[in-house]
Structure 1
Amino acid sequence: MQHDQYKYISRCDGLELDVLEIQPLSQPKGIVQFLHGMAENKERYIETMEFFARNGYITIIHDHRGHGKSIRDLADQGYFYDDTGKFILYDAHDITRMIKAKYPGLAIYLFGHSMGALIGQNYLKNYDNEVQKLILSGMPGNNPLCSAAIGLVTILEKIKGSYHRSKLIQNLSVGTYDKKFKGENKNCWLSANPENVNLYNADINCGFNFTLNGFKNLFLLMKNAYSDTDWVKTNLNLPILYLAGENDPVIMTKEDWRRAQLFLNKIGYTYVKGKMYHHMRHEILHEARKDVVMQDILSFIEK
């Protein structure tokens, strides 16, 4: 298989987005576009991408703005160059447009994990006719305090500036997740696989604290994803698959995770399915039984 890395210039503000594409050796069946999560990078998806490439799919992922190599300066990790929560969505859609121009006629399957799942649901809200299927992994639950969090971040920005990294906001957002798994390593909430957690903790491009600007974008993505207004709704039969580990604190509770799926049913989407994996946490693509997860995604795509 062939790995290609290149830049895509964001139409929003000219930011250089770093893109990775992996080509199969055979004639491609379709394309899987990946949207990675918060405070990580595209390289963490290479193993999964290679799995799909071996099964005949072109796979494409970009570093979100403020992540990986899609930054103007190392100090900009967790800064989105936007305060609307929209640019990161427009970037994802522009990558789809680029894919369609490059590979006309091939089906596109969109996979989003964690923050990428929030982007994916915002994508669904605006562009549900652009992809053939949607997979949302580790979808954050609909936190009722989201609007209050946006207000708090806005106040702190006026006092500290948008580049400030607030320990308070960090602790309120993801800082409590480890408490569910006492006695384990830092960021153990990510995975029951200690090797994965150790690699994450050792990676300077992972686990960084968001700026206030980054958190504002994150909370706006969540608020917009669960708002029942302004949905375009042109493809209500789009197949949608929710995936999660049963011990994932990001989904909040199993009931919240099911309510997230029922929310899309209420919006009008008719094909929304969910699968939960026993003894897995947030990063189901990095757990010991990740092969089962990848095979399930492949089966959903090819069904």
Structure 2
Amino acid sequence: MTASTIRRPAAARTRLAAAGAIAVAGALLLTACGDQTEKGGTESSGSAAPLFSKLPKDIQSSKVVKVGSDIAYPPVEFKEGGKTVGIDPDLADAMGKQLGVRFEFQNGTFDTLLTGMRSGRYQIAMSAMTDTKDRQNGVDPESGKKVFEGVDFVDYFNAGVSIYTKKGKTKGIATWEDLCGKKVVVQRGTVAHDLAKGQAKKCGKQKLSIEAFDTDVEAQTRLRAGGADAGASDFPVAAYAVKTSGGGKDFELVGEQVEAAPYGIAVGKKNTELRDALKAALEAVVENGEYDKIMKKWGVEEGATKEIKLNSGS
């Protein structure tokens, strides 16, 4: 399925929590549910690693990069057998070999990740997070006001948004307009949620009903049980659900993916040394072929990039 080149509107972003909510989430951070530390990953080879010297001194000392991630988003990051697995953890392991450090994934709700990074809980956020100008500039997309200092992104993947239905029960759904008069399930705070809300305003008397969940897995469960007509999420997530749920018998993709945009690793604006080290590590992973192996392993070659860029989102 070919990704659309439709330009992503400011208020609609993949796995996007409004920047305003991010700005006020500090008080909630201490009570964020289910925070866990993943101790696995690549063992550090320290200063013997080719890019170790590019890291900030504090990370050279600890040999650990603390990663904030919403670990409930297969195949990007999720738990399997008690271990954090997926595209992002595999890329982090490959980068760790280049940098001589271990990437320690810590689980948190998506809309608190940037706040957690700002408070020092995490040094980076790596969680299928879309690189956007609003996030770069710290702007609330709904109010247009600057609410925090913003972040830099090291971009490493491209993804659009897809609609999926129960297999054999598409009910004529192929576009967002076809959802009018029906019910769609989404993960709360994502681009799919924003697109659904935008489409609902256009549907008029043919009301579009939206049910939002904390995780995409919960949305899939609701659709599987017959509680909705369709679901919508990032293409790699939707494609993975279609491939794996019920052995491939539960869901099917419908129509084209839209809103193609880059995923990026978020790094604090002032932490340029770490940002540049991560970029160099990803470039090395692309060059040595590990990147392509990871994309193929998870069946997401369509979203692969050949060039690691900084702040390429719009």
- Determine if the TM-score, normalized by the shorter chain, exceeds 0.5: no
> Whose helix fraction is larger, Structure 1's or Structure 2's?
1
TM normalised by structure 2 equals 0.36
TM, length-normalised to structure 1: 0.37
Structure having the higher Rg: 2
Q: Which has the higher contact order (CA 8 A, sep 6+)?
A: 2
Structure 1 or 2: more strand by fraction: 2
